[in-house]
Amino acid sequence: MSLTTAATLRVVLYEGADSAPLASTDRFSALTALLEKGFAVTRAVAGGRVAPHERGSLIVLGQFAGRTPEAEGVTAGTIVRFQDITGLDAARIAERAEAVQTETGAARHGEWKPWFPVIDYDRCTNCMQCLSFCLFGVYGVDEQNKIQAQNHDNCKTNCPACSRVCPEAAIMFPKYKAGPINGDEVQASDLGKEKMKIDISSLLGGDVYSQLRQRSDAAKARFSKERDDKKALAERQKCLTKLASAASDIPAEVLMNLPSPEEIMRRAEEAKAKAQAALAANRQ
């Protein structure tokens, strides 16, 4: 199931009419346990304002003392479950929520670290450099040929490389350690900063694809002599580790998992063609 089509479950910790309030420590423990399991939790109290519910499933937790409240205004297709949590500790409360998650087929959380590029369209000039650069098919264009991050789960965890090729510092990774990639304000100095603007090709002393091609040719020649898969793999890993240390914050595993040079060439050509087509369409 794709990230965007998974069903959702909202947990409501209800402390309004017909539900006794929780003790302070119990409430905090329950909230923490539910959040750590990845749930969205609404704490509802009499007269308080929270986001309305439109669709998806709901589990309403409360100390109901046998008087389960009635749900009002529930739209068709919404599944609502009430759960009396009197006497339950935080871990048991989270278990009950997980049971409803399973029952309703709602998305499970934490199976994918949410690491993906977030585009600041106030800064983006639609230059398509990110689309040309990314070899993992994260970027695409919408029907107006506007750049988009489309395949979030293709993105390589902890790799901020595309943000470093963006000339406008318009690509953020909110979970990155430092600004402006983490979403902190962009300073004038960031735009020209050497550290900010890593040009992968310059790291290799020239065009990255030609370097990879040369490496591939050399490797082919060597492999034909050696015919030793283990040695070939060791050589590739050595080369990629060198690259990883040069790029400083591009994780070694990302570089280790790069496709073969031939595949890189193919994908690079494909990405470049997509970017050129989008730019041409925008010029019309």
Q: Which is nearer to other proteins, 17 or 51 (CB)?
A: 51
Three-state SS at 211: helix
Contact call for residue 123 and other proteins (CB under 8 A): yes
Residue the block writes with tokens 């709901």: 58
User: 248 φ, ψ to 5°?
Assistant: 55, -60
Cβ partners under 8 Å of residue 169, min gap 6:
123, 163, 180, 181, 186, 190, 191, 196
How long, in residues, is the chain? 284
Part of the chain binding other proteins (CB under 8 A), chosen from 53-61, 88-96, 242-250, 262-270 = 53-61
Cβ partners under 8 Å of residue 60, min gap 6:
12, 14, 69, 71, 80, 81, 82, 83
Contact call for residue 63 and other proteins (CB under 8 A): no
Q: Within positions 157 to 196, which residues make up the interface with other proteins, using CB under 8 A?
A: 168, 172, 174-177, 179, 182-191
What x/- string results for residues 5 through 34 when contact with other proteins is judged by CB under 8 A? -x-x-x-------------x--xx--xx--
What x/- string results for residues 64 through 93 when contact with other proteins is judged by CB under 8 A? ------------------------------
| Amino acid at position 60, single letter | V
Q: Which is nearer to other proteins, 2 or 284 (CB)?
A: 2
Q: Which is nearer to other proteins, 107 or 279 (CB)?
A: 107
Q: Which is nearer to other proteins, 109 or 236 (CB)?
A: 109
Q: How far apart are CA 205 and CA 211, in angstroms?
A: 8
C-alpha torsion sign, points 7, 9, 10, 14:
positive
Contact call for residue 43 and other proteins (CB under 8 A): yes
Contact call for residue 216 and other proteins (CB under 8 A): no
| Amino acid at position 146, single letter | K
Which residue in the set 56, 69, 140, 251 belongs to the binding site for other proteins (CB under 8 A)? 56
Q: Which is nearer to other proteins, 11 or 275 (CB)?
A: 11
Q: Quickly list DSSP for 240-276.
A: HHHHHHHTSSS-HHHHHT---HHHHHHHHHHHHHHHH
List residues binding other proteins (CB under 8 A): 3-4, 6, 8, 10, 24, 27-28, 31-32, 35-45, 47-56, 107, 109-110, 112-116, 118-123, 149, 152-153, 168, 172, 174-177, 179, 182-191
